[in-house]
Chain A
Amino acid sequence: MGAARLLAIKGVTLFGVLLVSLLLVIVVLGATGVSDRMMGSIVNEEVRELRQSLAITIRDPIELERVVLAEREQLVEFYGLDNPWYTRLPDMVWRILRLDLGSARTLKSFSGSTRVSDIVLERLPNTVILVTTALAISSVLGLYIGVKLATRVGTTLDRGVSYISAASYALPSWWVGIIFIMILSFQFHIFPFGGITSAPVPSGFLNRTFDIMWHATLPIITLTLASVGSWAYVVRTMVLNTAQEDFVTVARAKGLPENKIMNRHIIRVAAPPIVTNLVLGLTASFGGAILTETVFNWPGMGRLYYDAIFALDENVIVALTFIFTLLYVGARFILEVLYILLDPRVRY
């Protein structure tokens, strides 16, 4: 019961967050006039198409202009462009919530569609592959290293790795990615410069998979390196904190072997705060993915951001901001569930 209530609260909060960030995006768009510009371009596009189709039937250019103008006014009214931006707000929210994200100005999907949802959905899996793999590797690795360090507190190894972990906090992952490319791709030709597949794409499913894995290696290593250090450090601190608790002394006095004490009494108890930190680390992972994809020209949503910025494609940027928030909020919800499962105390 307690857990259900907590989950319900979390779910509502997160949905609220989604709405608020969406509203924020729309208000900023409206207040800066970008929204009008975006709608205007949609109208222009439709008018252009209309003119082309009408040009076949209406020969008289003056008559054509008149009809087009009338159609244009109808369109302006249809989209509500004759009213101030805030009157369109609910409509926009509803539209974006339905993932009806409009058309891109210049960017196209790989299959040639200009619909933003097509473009984004095509790239979504690529990003998810990258982020989840990196997150899984770094959490497992971080947990392992952190626990190892905690059992060797004060040793040279501990101090060394702790310092390296702390230092990695100061390393921008994208820059590390660049260094990787310069050394491993440019200098030694071990890995590709970027992209997701070779050109031409190797034939055969197995070959293609290996090709993608080969291309994904450096981005994944980059993303992992970005988070594994701070991870290990957080785990170490949490484990050490828990190891000072009285019940650990009790467990030792009970004659439990050290590995049991570590697994059952320390890590198990330290897990919820570690999960909390994983949640906090998620933002970093998402940001890291955008930058890493940019560096490695990985055709995910992050690289799309970069391309959209240079193509000045507002629609795509709005859509991406929304989808990233959606993904992030979803990931957080999963972790909240995990937290509730791990810690009996919050169930009340």
Chain B
Amino acid sequence: MEERTRNLFKELLSSGSGKVGIAFIIALIIISLGVIIIYPPDFGLKYWSNPVLWADNPRAAPPAWTNLFSSYNQAETVIFETNIPTERIPGVSITKVLYTFNLNHKADEPPSFISMTVGNIKYNNRPPVLIVNIERPDGNKIELYRLIVPGPLPNEVTPFARFSETPFRIQLSGNHEVVSAVSNFLKQEFDVSISNQDLLLSGVDIAVFGTPQDDGKFDVLMGVYKIQVDAFLYNEDDSIGSVKFVAGGSVHGFMGTDTLGRDLSIGLLFGFPVALFIGLVASSITTVIGTSLGIISGYIGGKTDTSIQRAADIFTNIPLLPILIFLSFIVGPNLFIIILILIIFSWPGLTILIRSMVLQIRSGQLVESSITLGASRLRIMLRHIFPQTAPFVFAQMIFFTPSAILAEAALSFLGLGDPSLPTWGQILEYGFRNGGIYVGYWWWILPPGILIVITAMTFVLIALGMEPIINPRLKRGH
């Protein structure tokens, strides 16, 4: 047996497709292990499906590297986050804490939005005040926003903690206070008057990051913007946990984002272990069941054979996808149920094939000679029949793996995926349902598909590399 296994791998590695397949599968396994170690176990429900976590990302943004292929430079998301103030100016009754960020804006467009998030503020008597200022490369300074931390509630005891559970996020771009501040600024500096309403519609970002032109439009002003958050604390012991400022881009990260602002690279990475899990679990269990039933059916014969064959007949004659759709619709989307159904509907194919192999083996004299030697049924099946089917069974298992992955993907694509385990199929489905293909969100549609194809292909390549072992007649033909 060991010798045969060794030969199998030798043969596999001697073929080009086998080599590529093996290299791919090693890569897939390494990525999956990495994901399993790094990602939280409840990634799907708690992180991926939680829109709050993704709020600071631009929506439906293509990958950042698309800038390389275009003369028009799109803004990239810039995030400043700190919990240590740049400067602390103690005063008599007021302590001023400064947070300064330098935003070097080089894109041909303004940021898609700006936002600020503060977290974990503690104070003792008077609530602190935070002021957001922005100093433009042309020297102009705008006071954008003033945040007064909510005051103490009746019966609340000091120290008062605010924004400790969930940080407080202000979308500066769409804020009325910001709009009027910018409107005033335009009036004073450039003598341009735009109503608050119009400014809200066209977006304040272009006004903050641009210079008005004669035609009523703005030119993007490139250079270093100094963003300063001044916090006024009224007690020595008051503190501010963290301050975050985001200038949203219209391109994002390596893989872009979806319409919820989710970083697709994170979701796609999570798809690796899930896909491998589906493929390998479904195929190995199917193979074990299919092979044992096939051997039993072919070897024992009689009523056992008839009943197994009838069952197999029924399951092969029911079209898989409709039943899968029906069951996951009724029972609810659950990955384990999907795998279970895949197994229930897939063993018969293998059983029928193995049975015919066993019948062929039986027609030789090996089985009869073993009976004469006094070998038990179990021994004959395990020691003599199974080894003869083994390479074929192994190949079938590898060949079935991609079908299981593809079946899950298809089901997810129809909206019946398990939301607790985001898969490539689900990402694709979300993209499709949100009209991704009609508006050209290629970075959303292509990568999950490509990953599905690559994973499936890995197993197909290995199966191809094994073909000469399974079908020596074809080898002879060359």
Contact = CB atoms under 8 A, between A and B. Distances in A.
Question: Touching in the complex, A and B, CB below 8 A?
Answer: yes
Interface of A: 13-14, 16-17, 20-21, 24-25, 28-29, 32, 34, 153-154, 163, 166-167, 169-172, 174-175, 178-179, 181-182, 186-187, 193, 237, 240-241, 243-244, 280, 282-283, 286-287, 290-291, 294-295, 305-306, 309-310, 314, 317-318, 320-321, 324-325, 328-329, 332
Contact of B477 (A174, A244, A286): A244
A320 B325 CA distance: 10
Interface of B: 17, 310, 313-314, 316-323, 325-327, 329-331, 349, 402, 406, 409-410, 413-416, 428, 432, 437-438, 440, 442, 445-446, 449, 452-453, 456-457, 459-461, 463-464, 471, 473-474, 476-478
B328 to A, nearest CB: 9
A178 B457 contact: no
Given A237-B471, A321-B322, A290 B414 contact: yes
Nearest to B440: A186
Across the A-B interface, the 6 shortest Cβ-Cβ residue pairs: A287-B321, A170-B456, A17-B317, A175-B449, A324-B322, A170-B457
A166 B453 contact: no
Main secondary structure of the interface of B (DSSP, over half): helix
Given A178-B437, A241-B473, A172 B325 contact: no
B273 to A, nearest CB: 19
A169 B416 CA distance: 23
A280 B349 contact: yes
Contacts of B314: 16-17, 20-21
B460 A167 contact: yes
Given A32-B330, A178-B432, A237-B471, A290 B477 contact: no
A321 B477 contact: no
A65 B310 CA distance: 54
27 contacts: A13-B313, A21-B323, A28-B330, A29-B330, A32-B330, A166-B461, A171-B456, A172-B456, A178-B428, A178-B445, A178-B449, A179-B446, A181-B437, A193-B438, A244-B473, A282-B319, A287-B319, A287-B320, A294-B413, A306-B415, A309-B415, A309-B416, A310-B415, A317-B329, A318-B326, A324-B322, A325-B319
Given A163-B17, A175-B453, A17 B438 contact: no
A13 B474 CA distance: 35
B200 to A, nearest CB: 32
Contacts of B327: 28
A328 B325 contact: no
B460 A170 contact: yes
Nearest to A320: B322
A169 B319 contact: no
A182 B414 contact: no
Contacts of A29: 330
B317 A291 contact: no
Contacts of B452: 172, 175
Contacts of A154: 477-478
A21 B326 CA distance: 11
A154 B464 CA distance: 14
B4 to A, nearest CB: 23
A198 B440 CA distance: 21
